[in-house]
Amino acid sequence: MKDTLPGLGQLLEDPLARQVLSGRRPWVLALDYDGTLAPFRPDRDHACPYAGVRDVLNRLPTKGRSRFVMISGRDASSLSRLLNIHPIPEIWGCHGAQRLIPGEGEAVIPLTPEQQAALEQARALVEDESRTETKPCGIAFHWRGLAPDEKREFMARLEPRLMELAGRAGFELHPFDGGLELRLPGASKATAIRSLLEEHPEALVIYLGDDRTDEDAFKALKGRGIGVLVSARPHASEASFWIRPPQELLALLGRFTSLNPKARRPEYAQ
- Domain range summary for the chain, segments of one domain joined by +: 8-109+192-257, 113-183
Rounded to 5°, angle at Cα 160 from 154 and 165: 115
What tens digit of pLDDT does each residue of 25-46 get? 999 999 999 999 999 887 888 8
Task: Give 261's pLDDT tier (boundaries 50, 70, 90).
Answer: low
Q: How far apart are CA 263 and CA 57, in angstroms?
A: 10
Q: How far apart are CA 160 and CA 220, in angstroms?
A: 31
Asked whether the domain spanning 113-183 has the same topology as the one spanning 8-109+192-257, the reply is no
What tens digit of pLDDT does each residue of 76-123 get? 999 999 999 999 999 999 999 999 999 898 999 999 999 999 999 999
**The pLDDT value given to residue 3:** 66
Question: Is domain 113-183 annotated with CATH 3.30.70?
Answer: yes
For the chain, strand residue ranges (E) read 27-31, 67-71, 90-93, 98-101, 105-108, 132-135, 138-142, 172-176, 179-183, 204-209, 225-230, 241-243
CATH number of 8-109+192-257: 3.40.50.1000
Q: Which residues pair with 105 in a beta bridge?
A: 101
In contact, 16 and 204? CB cutoff 8 Å: yes
Q: How far apart are CA 95 and CA 163, in angstroms?
A: 19
